Structure 1
Amino acid sequence: MTLMKISWLLSICLFINSFFYINISHAQEWIYTTVAGDNLWNISKQHLDNATRFKQLQQLNNIENPRQIKPGTRLRVPLKWIRSNPVPARISSHQGKAHLLHPDGTTEIIGDQTLIQLGDQIRTHDDSSLTIRFADNSLLTLYSNSLIRFDHLSAHGSTGMVDSRLHLLKGRMDTRVTPAVGPGSRFQIQTPSAISAVRGTEYRAAVNEQQQLSNIEVLHGSVAVSGASKQRLIMAGYGTQITQGEAPIPAKKLLPPPAMKPIQGPIHSINQMLSWPSIKGAREYRIEVSTEPQFNTLVWQQISTYSRVPLPDLPDGQYYARIRGVDQLGLEGENHVTALDLDARPQPPIQLSPADNKSIRGTAPQLQWTESEEADYYRLEIATDSAFQSLILDRDDIQGSRFDTSALPLPGHYFWRLTSITSEGEIGPVGMQRNWQVKPIPKQADTAMSAVENGQLSASWPAGSPGQTYQIQLAYDAKFTELETDQTLAEPGFSFAPIKGRIRYLRVRTIEPDGYEGPWGTVQKVMPIPDYTPLTILGAAVLLLLL
C-alpha cells in the first residue's frame, strides 16, 4: 500500500474517531476552562439557563470552594444546561436582485446588513449573488436563481457555539465554515436528496431540480454526506452525487484547475478573450468574475463549452476571474484564480477613413472616426513609422470626428492612432494603429506616331517606372465607344496596320502596380492611308472642275 493511501486512510480513521467521540462521549457536554476571577456563580449567570445551576455545577465537577477556582480549571457543563437563544444571520454583501421571504408570507428586497431570522427564505434572481454571515462568522455565498430556507439559527449563549441548519431547495451555494468551538457547534446543509454536516471546511453544494439530485464538492477539510440512511466521508479534492432516495456515490476526484498563465499588464480591450488549456474529462467550464479575491459575490458568471470566453463589458478596475472544469456528472473541479486589471475606458473611437493600408493618389485625405460617448477630446498622433518614434503631429485637444491632413508633406507614408480623453482628464487606452500612403498621380502617357518599314504604324510613349503597365485603346470614334483594340501592354509601344477610308482614334494611360489607373493621355487622330485607285482619281478631277 502506498504512503499516500495509508495517509488518506489514517485521516479517515481520525475523522471518524473524532466524529463519534464528540457525538457519543461528549456530545452532551461543553468543557469550559476558567480564567482569573471566575466563580461558579458568574459562570452560571453568564452561560447557563439558570444562575442557580451553580450548585449542580459544583457537584458535577467536585469543586470544594465555588467562590475560588484556580485559573485553567476545566469544567464539565451539560449542553442542556447552557442557555440557547435565537440569533439572526446577516447579509454581508450582495450583487443584483434578491428577496427575503418571511414565514408570514411577506417579502422584502435584500440589501447589505439585512437580518435573516429562523424560518426565512432567500430567493436570488438572474445575475445575482449574495453572502450570508452567521453568528460564528461562517460564510455562505448563494448564487443566482437559488432558493434556501433557514431551519435553525441559534447560539448557546456567549459560549461561541452556534447551531446553523439550512435547506438548499434549488440552485448553487458554497461555504467557508468556522471551526467548531464545542459540541453545540453545528453547520448543516440539507438538500432534497442529502444532508451534509461539517465544521471548519470549504465546500460547494448544488441542487438539480429536474434530475432530483445534489452535488457536493469539497475544497478544504472533509464533509460527512448522508443520503437514504447511508453516509460517506468526502475529503478535500473529491465530490459526490446524491440522487433522491439513494445513497451518495463513491467519492470522485475533482477535475484539476486549468493551467492558465497569468495575464500580464492591464487589459485595454472590451470583451477581451480569456483562454486556457482544455482539461481532460471536462464537458464544460464555469467562469466567474468578482471584485474581491474571496468571491463573496459575483459581478458576472458564464458556462462555456469551449476553453475560452470573452470578458463582459465591465467598468475599469481590479477584478478576479475564477475558472474550473465541470465533469460529465456535473461535479465542478478545483479553481484557477487570476487577477484582471481592466483599463479600457474611455474607449478609443473607431477609425473610419481612410481604410487601413489605403493608397491615395495626389491629394491628402481627411481622417474620420466615430465619436466616443465617453470622450470629450481626442489625442491624435501621426508618425512616419509604425513605432511612432518619428511623430510629425501630436495633439490632445482634437474635438469632433474629422481632421484635415492637407498640411502634411506629399507624397508620404503615414501612421495614425487616437486616444479618448474625458473632461476630467482621464486618458483611455491607445486605439488601433492604421496607416495610409499618398502617392503621386502618374503622368499622362502622350503618344507619338510614326511609320515603320513593314508598312505598319507605330505608337510610342515615354516609359514609366518599374512595374507599370499600359492600357491602349484604338477606336473608330472620338468617344471610344466603338473600340477596335483594348489591350494592356508591358512595354511603351504598339504597332498596328493602317486602314483605308476611316479615321481612327488612339489613347494610352499608365496602370500602377497596385492597380491605380492614371489619366488618359492626349487623344491621337490616326488618318487613313490615301486611296490612289483610278475611280478615286477621276472623282477628284471632276470635283476640281466643278469648283
Structure 2
Amino acid sequence: MKSIKTNNPKALKKHTLVIIFIYIFACLFIQKTWANEYIYKAKAGDSLWNISKKHLIDMKYWSQLIALNKLPDPNNIAEDTIIRIPIQWLHQENGSAKLIYTTGDVQIIFHDASKVSFSNAKKVTQGLEVTLLEGSIIKTGKDALATIIFLDGSRLLVQSNSELKLEGLDVLGDGTLSDMNLYLDKGSITNDVNPNKEYNIRYEIHTKLATTSVRGTKFTVSVGQDDLPTIAEVLRGKIVVKSNKTDIENDVTKGRGAIISEDGEVQIHNLPKAPFLGGIPPIIERSPINIVLPEVQNIKGYHTVIIIKDDDQYRHVSNETIHKSNIISRDIPDGNYTMIVAAINDKNLKGEEARYDFILKARPIPPIIISPQIEKPVSTKDIQFKWAKQTSISAYRLEIAQDFKFDKLILQKDISGSSSFLLQERPKSGTYFWRIAAISVKDGQGPFSDPISFKILPHALKLDEAKYKDNTLTLRWNNAGDNFKYRFQISQERSFKNILLGRIVTKNFTEIKNLLSGTYYFRLQIISEDGFEGIWGQPQTFTITSGSFKDYLLLPLKFLRE
C-alpha cells in the first residue's frame, strides 16, 4: 500500500475521511454478512492469505477477512482456530448427495418434482447410485429405511415414517468446504458426520422447533408429532442446538441429549447407558428375533439395529423399535450378524449403543406341535407324538427327556417319511419333555421346537371284587405297585355330584361299615409317588339288598359304559 505524503492539511483531512469511510463501510458490510457466514476451522500451517487464495472468489476480500476475524497474527494461525467467512465471498457451486441403500417403501421426490419409488419388501436394495440435488425430498414408509451419503463421506439414515428435505447442498471454496442444510419435517434421522480434517463441513438440520449444527459427530434428530418436542441425541462429538424462538446456543456433548419444546425451552439430559447384552446366546434359533431383557428403572423400550457382521453399519437388515423390555427384529436370513441395541428412557431419549455378535441358525424352522400339548396328561398304554408335516424336509429328529434341558434323554430318534411316532415302551408315570427338529438336504438339521412338557399318568384302575360280610363292605382292586396311593369315591348318583364317601388309601382295598341297602356307584383314581393324579376309572355299580333273614346280599358288580 502506498503511503500518503502531503503538506496540504485540507488534502490530508480529505484522505483521512475517505479511509475512515471505507473502514466504516467495510465494518458495516461485514456486520451484515455475519448472519450468513461460514465457520472455517483452521488446519496446521494455515494463514489468512492461503485460506483466501484457496477459497475466496476475489483476493480483495483478504483485508476484510483480517478485519473481521481480528487475529493476532494472520500469517501464523493455530490449528482449530475458528475463522469466520461471509458466504458470498466464497466460491460456490451446487452440490449433490447419493441414495445408496433402501429397505421397504421409499419415495424420492426430486428437485424438478419428478418421482421414483422403491418397494423391496424387507430386503436391502444395494448398488444404488441415485443422485439427489438440492430440493430433493426423501419419504419413508412403515418399516422402511433410506441411507444417503454426502460429498465428504458423511452418512445419514432416514428412519421409518420420516420425511426429509435437502434444502441446501452447497459446495464452497476449493471443493473441500460445504454448507449442508436439511429440513426434517417428521420422523427421525441418524447422522454420522465425517470428522475427516480434509473437509470443512457446515452441517445444519432444521425442524419446526429447532436448528442443530454439527461437525464431525454421530447423533440422531427426531421430530415429535403435533405438540411433541424435537429431540437430539449425541453419541460422538458435539452438536449445537438452538430453539427457533431464541438465539441461545446450547452445546450438547457425547452421552447427552436435548429436548426442545414448542415454547422454546431446551432441556439437556444424560442419555441412557448402553444395555447389558451378556445374557443373549451366541447362537439364536428363531427369526424374527424376540428376546426379553430384564426390566430397568426408567427404561421403557429398546431400539435394535442388525447388520451383517463386518459389513457397512448403515446397511441395516433390521431396524426396529419397541416400547417393551424386548429386543426384536424383522424376519432375516440365517447368517453371522452384529446387533446394535440402545435403550429408550421415559423422556423418549435413545441412549448409548451396545454391540453383540451372534449367529442366526433358524432354518429349517421347527415343525408345529400337534400332540401331546403342554401339560397334557397321557394315560394310554401307547403314546403317540404328532407334528405338522413340512415340505422339502427329508427327516425329523425327535427327542424325549426327563428334564427341560434334555440332559436326561430317554429317546432320540430320526424319523423319515412320517410326521408321527408311536412310543410303545411306556415310561413310568411322571413329567416328561419332548421336542422335534426338521432336517433338510440344503440346511441340515434346524433348531428344535420349544420343549413341550406332558404328564404320563398311571393306568386307570377298576374294581375287581366286592364282598359284604358282618355289616362290612370290602372293595378290592388290582395293585398298581409300590409307592402308589388310591383315591376312591362312592355315590348314589352316576354323575358323582353328591359324594357319600371319598378316601385316599395306600392299600389296594378298603372296608366300609354300615352301608345301607341300595344301588351305589364307585370310581377309582391312582396317585403316583410324585403326586400326579391319574384319570378316574370308568364308574362301576353294585347293589346291596336285604334278604328274608335281614342279612344283606351283594349283587354282582356292573361295569358302566360311558
Give the structure-1-normalised TM-score: 0.69
Question: How many residue pairs are counted as aligned between the two chains?
Answer: 465
2-structure distance, mates of 1:82, 1:438: 85
What does 1:38-437 correspond to in 2, within 5 Å? Answer: 84-110=92-118, 112-156=128-172, 159-179=175-195, 181=197, 185-211=201-227, 213-226=229-242, 227=244, 228-243=246-261, 246=264, 249=266, 251-270=268-287, 272-280=290-298, 282=299, 284-292=300-308, 294-295=313-314, 297=316, 299-304=318-323, 306-308=324-326, 311-317=329-335, 318-328=337-347, 330-356=348-374, 360-361=378-379, 363-372=381-390, 375=393, 377-382=395-400, 387=406, 391-395=410-414, 397-406=415-424, 408=425, 416-434=434-452
1:427-459 CA-to-partner distances (Å, cap 9, x unmatched) read: 21122344667677466543364643xxx3554
Which residue does 1:511 correspond to in 2? Answer: 525
From the superposition, tell whether residues 463 and 429 of structure 1 become closer, same or farther in structure 2 (CA, over 3 Å). closer
1-structure distance, mates of 2:156, 2:444: 38
1-structure distance, mates of 2:363, 2:543: 65
1:295-338 CA-to-partner distances (Å, cap 9, x unmatched) read: 5546232241x43455554443324142222343x443333343
1:42-89 CA-to-partner distances (Å, cap 9, x unmatched) read: xx9xx7899xx99x99xxxxxxxxxxxxxxxxxx99998875433321
2-structure distance, mates of 1:351, 1:404: 15
Which residue does 1:530 correspond to in 2? Answer: 548
For the pair shown, which has the larger CA radius of gyration, 1 or 2? 1
**Higher share in strand:** 2
Alpha-carbon offset, residue 137 of structure 1 = 0.5
1-structure distance, mates of 2:229, 2:409: 66
From the superposition, tell whether residues 517 and 48 of structure 1 become closer, same or farther in structure 2 (CA, over 3 Å). closer
2-structure distance, mates of 1:259, 1:93: 30
2-structure distance, mates of 1:526, 1:212: 83
Give the structure-2-normalised TM-score: 0.67
Task: Structure 2: state its 5+ residue gaps.
Answer: 1-37, 63-82, 119-124, 528-532, 551-562
Greater CA drift, 486-495 or 143-152? 486-495
| Alignment RMSD | 4.7
From the superposition, tell whether residues 363 and 88 of structure 1 become closer, same or farther in structure 2 (CA, over 3 Å). same
2:105–2:140: 8 Å Cα contact kept in structure 1? yes
Alpha-carbon offset, residue 93 of structure 1 = 1.6
Task: Structure 1: state its 5+ residue gaps.
Answer: 1-17, 33-43, 58-75, 533-547
From the superposition, tell whether residues 365 and 172 of structure 1 become closer, same or farther in structure 2 (CA, over 3 Å). same
1-structure distance, mates of 2:500, 2:172: 106
What does 1:438-477 correspond to in 2, within 5 Å? Answer: 441=459, 445-447=463-465, 449=467, 451-452=469-470, 456=471, 458-459=473-474, 461=476, 464=479, 465=481, 466-469=483-486, 471=488
From the superposition, tell whether residues 120 and 460 of structure 1 become closer, same or farther in structure 2 (CA, over 3 Å). closer
1-structure distance, mates of 2:485, 2:100: 74
Alpha-carbon offset, residue 418 of structure 1 = 0.9
2-structure distance, mates of 1:129, 1:105: 21
1:321–1:340: 8 Å Cα contact kept in structure 2? no
2:460–2:534: 8 Å Cα contact kept in structure 1? no
2-structure distance, mates of 1:161, 1:334: 30
1:118–1:153: 8 Å Cα contact kept in structure 2? yes
